[in-house]
Amino acid sequence: MHQPAVQRRCLRKLSTPPRGVKHTVIPSLTAGTGAIAPGICRGRIGPLDNVGARRRHTTALYHALYDAFMLCIRVAGRRKSVLQTASMPAPPRPFQTIAIIGNTRDLRVAETLQVLAAHLHSRGRRVLIDAATSIDYRDVAVERMPEADLCPTADLLVAVGGDGSMLHAARLAAPCAIPVLGINRGRLGFLADIGPAELGPCVDEILAGRYVSDQRAMLQATLISPGAPDRQCSGLNDVVLQKWQTGRILDFETYIDGRYVNTHGGDGLVIATATGSTAYALSCGGPILYPGLDAVVLAPICPHTLSDRPIVVRRTSVIEVRLLDRPDSNGQVTCDGVSLGALSQGDRLIVQPAAANVTLLHPADHDYYRTLRSKLRWGRGDRTAPYQTSD
């Protein structure tokens, strides 16, 4: 059988002993070829008094083993490349089936939905829409289905509107583990960061796989009332307890991981994720948390005591709120603005991490701090760029 040149060179090196060294057949190295290798017998190499010969032999053996090792690497590399070329199919195009939602009562949103559907269809994508909408998509082929069936069928959910539409989309997408992309047609737009002017180019970049994937934590609120079934809701921004149908302040207690924290008097409490720290909690004096922080903010609403300040705890904490027995004390619990129900005396509100998070997609050049500067109007005036010193 023909032997590669490197293998023949290895055998020649193993077969040529240094001067003064005996010959010994080594079956483990020759593999039945009958090649003669330098004398290695019972752990001894040649005459014990021939130090130079032993060193030459050791050097030759190292070279031979190195050549054999490199040969194995080259052969394995060629086989791997051939196998990859032959068996690996071309990667599929991302996001083949895309669902689009939005508040169609807003004419600007309805117009953007039509433009978006036509653009996606021109890129060969399957477009899903809510069957309850009455928008005329003209010649664009769209598939109508109930809103509850959109995310189990789609690879991507696109929400057109403001942050309210994004919060609704997050609740739909999180259980199905599909990402959410936002097209901003609202007033502020912390979450939906693609404007209608750059809709086409930005969507094409997303479809091409060039985007920033952003994991956002969500909260789950459970309202426990004696003698009634538990009510649950999940939210991306916050869970809010606020006074309801009364002009009096609320008195309530907070517990974190089973430990008593404080007794509060005021208009309520905001329990916000890092994402929601720039929403209602911000107006209560809460801090801005970077979205990647694994933390939750508890911000009292209009507290009666000025020392009742916001507190930041880890996201895995289990937070419990109990309403104290006071006359005319009624509270309401909302999750991202959606009413969960009334919190009455004897009820308990439990807030903990949701079972599933949501993934938001941003353009490749997304910069969170640039978003803060833009939305919060930081640096307006003569300080619009980093300060530069003159040489």
Q: Which residues are catalytic?
A: 163
Beta-strand relationship, 338-343 and 219-224 = unpaired
Give the three-class secondary structure for 216. strand
Q: Cα 94 vs. chain centroid, distance in angstroms?
A: 17
Tell me which residue has tokens 């869970």: 239
Give the three-class secondary structure for 210. coil
CA distances from 323 to 253, 327, 330 (A): 7, 11, 8
Beta bridge mates, 47: none
Q: Crossing angle of helices 5-15/51-87, nearest 10°?
A: 160
Tell me which residue has tokens 């916000």: 272
Rounded Cα gap, residues 117 and 104, in angstroms: 14
Contact 372, 288 (CB under 8 A): yes
The token pair at 181 is: 């992309």
DSSP-derived secondary structure letter, 129: E
Q: What is the dihedral of CA 243, 247, 248, 253, to 10 degrees?
A: 0
Rounded Cα gap, residues 383 and 378, in angstroms: 9
